Homo-oligomer: A and B are copies of this chain.
Amino acid sequence: MGRPRTFDEDKALESAMRVFWNQGYEDASLADLLADMGLTKGSFYKAFLDKKSLYLAALDLYARQSIVPMVEGLMDRTAGSGHDRILRVFQSIVDMGRSNGDRVGCFLCNAAVDRAAHDPDVELRLNSMFARMEDGFAAALADHLNKGPEAEDVRAGAKALVSQFMGLRVLGRAGQSVRFGDGVLSEVRRLLKLG
Give the interface of A toward B (CB within 8 A).
Answer: 22-24, 26-27, 103-105, 109-110, 112-114, 116-118, 123, 126-127, 130, 134, 153, 155-160, 162-168, 170-171, 173-176, 179-180, 182-184, 186-188, 190-191, 194
Q: A175 touching B113 by the CB < 8 A rule?
A: no
Copies of this protein, total:
2
Q: A187 touching B191 by the CB < 8 A rule?
A: yes
Looking at the assembled complex, report how far the CB atom of A195 sits from the nearest CB atom of chain B, in whole angstroms. Answer: 11
For the A-B complex with A112-B173, A159-B180 known, give 18 more contacts whose Cβ atoms are closer than 8 Å.
A24-B26, A24-B113, A24-B114, A109-B113, A114-B114, A126-B174, A155-B183, A156-B183, A156-B187, A159-B179, A159-B184, A159-B187, A162-B171, A163-B180, A163-B184, A166-B170, A167-B170, A187-B191
Q: Is the interface of A mostly helix, strand, loop or mixed?
A: helix
Q: B186 touching A190 by the CB < 8 A rule?
A: no
> Could you say which residues of chain B place their CB within 8 Å of the CB of A184?
159-160, 163
